[in-house]
Amino acid sequence: MKPDSAWWVPAQGGRRLALRRMLALAAWVTAGALAPLRAWATGRNQAAFESKSLDDALAAAGAAQAEESGDIVLRAPDIAENSALVHVEIESRLPGTESILLFAEKNPQPFIAQFDILTGLEPFVAVRIKMAESAHLRVVVRAAGRSYYTRRETKVTIGGCAG
């Protein structure tokens, strides 16, 4: 190897071989970096997201037996000017929060979102959702192996999901 050549350029084969090696390394790194994202995407609860009623969605999400709790803070407007953009903030004060689930009771598909909270992270979520009509928003929090919920009514003035 020449003293002025880079370590990735072999003495035999030149630049083309070096480019092939760098492209192969880039492809390998990219595939490895995307693997965790693909694993997370496969964990979607399809049955819960496709449910047409709140009771079916809660049952499919494993949250039908949730207990009401005052340690869940749900911030949403009393009246939303535009139901296509309803800002919702959720904060869990329950120790050991594992996941936060959001439901809109009168939406065609009431299960809106699920957020899995990693250990050590603050259990806080802010999201904008679309609502079909005035309804209760329900938040279910899984903490320490149990489920808890709170709910709040939000009225909408302009239709979202339906029009």
φ/ψ (deg, to 5) at 41: -65, -30
| Backbone φ and ψ of 62, nearest 5° | 75, 30
Q: Which two tokens stand for residue 157?
A: 């003035």
Mean pLDDT, residues 51-76 = 93
β-sheet bridge partners, residue 101: 114, 140
Domain ranges in the chain are 1-43, 46-156
Kindly report the pTM of this predicted structure. Answer: 0.71
- Taking a C-beta distance cutoff of 8 angstroms, is the pair 151, 75 a contact? no
Average pLDDT value over all residues in the chain? 83
In tens, the pLDDT along 27-55 reads: 766 666 665 555 555 567 888 888 999 99
Fold of 46-156: Immunoglobulin-like (2.60.40)
Of residues 2 and 148, more confidence is placed in: 148
